[in-house]
Amino acid sequence: MNTKLIATALISVIIGSAGMYLALPFLHKQGIVEQSSLPLTGSSAQRALAATLEKLLLDNVIWSHAYIVAVLGSNADAPVALERLVQGQEHLNLLLAPLYGHEAGLKTTSLTKEYVQGLEHVMQAAKAQDSTKFQQATKQWHATLDELTTHLSSKNPAWSREKLTDLFQELLRLYGVQIEARLRSNWKEDATSFEQALIQAHIIAQELARGIIAHKKIG
């Protein structure tokens, strides 16, 4: 496997998006999370992979929160935040397609875009304060995520479906806490759950990177 080519492709994804590591320096300084070993050790390809996954997952948290805030606050920038979430899924395809094939990348992109649409439906119900539709949309949102983790684990035996599902479902739970907190104007709880989501994204990124490095023997 051409590790230099992989490193170049992954770094291009990072450079193509602004704000890499916006959250991690603060989290590390505060002692909330340990410094990730993957971006700092190993080959250039391993570091590029870990950094890219970190960026993609942190972006998802940042733009999901921005979208939640915008929708519930009736802000005009909600479509922009949603567009950035979709863009993040396209970047994920750029990362996975060279590793697992074009079809696998397209399937991943399709499911992650369904996931973003799920968040959109959840927020529409939350904004309308329709508890029935909110519960239905949330259930479907979680089901889409389960389908995504099943798909990912089927492509990489180094990823445990159960572990991936637990990690991603916890992230969705934290998004739900943010939504509920903002509906109750509980800004402190919203801020706390946002910080916890950043930590969870860091953990997920490390797990994904370890799995890819182990499976594809990127060195």
The per-residue pLDDT for 42 is 64
- Residue 219: band (very low, low, confident or very high) from pLDDT cuts 50, 70, 90: low
**Apex 203 CA angle, 166 and 216, nearest 5:** 90
Nearest Cα to Cα of residue 212 among 73, 105, 95, 62: 95
More confident residue, 12 or 132: 132
List, in sequence order, the alpha helices (H) in the chain.
Answer: 3-15, 24-29, 44-72, 78-100, 102-128, 131-155, 161-183, 187-216
188's tokens: 């402190």
**Range in 26-30, 145-149, 166-170, 175-179 the model is least confident about:** 26-30
For 111, 155, 193, 195, the CA distances from 60, given in Å and listed in that order, are: 15, 22, 14, 13
192's tokens: 């706390």
